[in-house]
Amino acid sequence: MGEAAGIRAAAARAVAAVAGNGQRLESALAEVVPGRAQRPAIQSLAFGTLRWYFELDACLGLLLDRPAAALDPEIRALALVGLFQLSHGATPAHAAVAETVEATRVLGRPRAAGLVNALLRRFQREGAAIMGRAHENPQARHAHPSWLLDALMHEWPDHWQVIVAAGNAEPPMWLRVNRRHGTRDAYLARLAAAGMSAECSAFAPEALRLAQPVNVGELPGFAEGAVSVQDAAAQLAPYFLAAQSGMRVLDACAAPGGKACHMLELEPGIAELVALDIDPLRSKRIEENLSRLRLTAKVVVGDAANADWWDGRAFDRILLDAPCSGTGVIRRHPDIKLLRRPDDIARFRAAQLALLRSVYALLTPGGRLLYASCSVLRAENSAMVGEFLSADSTALDVTESARLLLPGVAPVQCPGPGCALPSGAADADGFYYACLEKRA
């Protein structure tokens, strides 16, 4: 059996693990990828199929004479992989059909070959009409779950379409130039010498967006720490936090360490930076990034929701990049569209509020805490921070004054405490920041 069929079968297994078992795409791919050389192709098919899942599944329902849920989960996923190739992929249609049909045998279900062949060939003939009928449903037309579409339309009436379009797009590759190694312009010249082009961000001083994504090993000076991969929106964190020489800084929920490293790159005089994370494996990523960038921080494995790990000394600055729904980074993690449910948001909010209360207690009077999330939903952002501010009279929202001191003009909205960046604006991820200071 051919390699191409094997790639499609592996992608289908990954999609089925997400759609049927609620597994994260990253872990599903780790289980199904047979070899490193095949990973990019498998990943591309799985990401694309999940990105357009709600559209493709609606088309599949119109092609079948029985409920799609009655299909074997892996065959259903394989049919969606085939539909993705025909509607959004670059593979020639005849090859996409033949290789997807062949993949039924790789999956051990050769009897499904006729069904898959008939579905895909009918879509070849009638695709425009079937897609038009599917798009009568907003969930299919926008390829986002209905509950999320409703929330975005309500909370972002002027931006929801930009956010949705970003969620359906392939993400750009943003770089963060290490200022200790040279200027952004100097690194632009290094990229040009290596045959790569990039554009500067208008609001993040170290950020460059590559015209074409590449393997990190191809980036000039990556191994030596000259550059890192980080979205432009995330690169605002050190500027909001404004850590200064001699300060003690906590990065709570720090893995994989991008923001902690950026802080150290910008302010070498930080007295001590504690990078805290609850996950031992992810904490190793912090250490790896620190090592590559030749930076020093104290990496601690512990739960930011309690102070069991704390040594009793207060922090001048605290960054809390809280676990969230990830609705601002769907373009990077399309499985979020399937894995998140409406009732998850209340659960995230409760956990975020508990984390915020816990780490705020470690802040010295006169100090600053930066709450950050990659959600675009108010419940996890301004509403949660507003609840915290209402309950603690020592906390003051200073986001607006901090925002005015940012080095560029970010495309933000400030409808409540903190400020939000909608996904896709300036081609950056969706992000939320709130600067809170403790009255002395």
Residue in 253, 261, 324, 374 annotated catalytic: 374
Per-position b or e across 216-229, b if 16+ CB within 10 A of its CB: eeebbbbeebbbbe
State the Cα–Cα distance between residues 334 and 197, nearest whole angstrom.
27
Amino acid at 186: A
C-beta of residue 316 within 8 angstroms of C-beta of residue 365: no
Annotated active-site residue 374? The verdict is: yes
Q: Report the C-alpha gap between 347 and 253 in whole angstroms.
A: 17
Contact 329, 430 (CB under 8 A): yes
Strand order in the sheet with 207-210: 198-200, 207-210, 174-177, 227-229
Tokens, residue 127: 């695709």
Q: Give me 25's structure tokens.
A: 């795409």
The string over 370-398, giving b where at least 16 C-beta atoms fall within 10 Å of a residue's C-beta and e elsewhere, is: bbbbbbbbbbbbbebbbebbeebeebebe
Judge residue 314's burial from the number of C-beta atoms within 10 Å of its C-beta, 0-12 exposed, 13-18 middle, 19 or more buried.
middle
> Measured between alpha carbons, how far is 48 from 433 in angstroms, rounded to an integer?
30
Q: Could you give the residue numbers annotated as active site?
A: 374
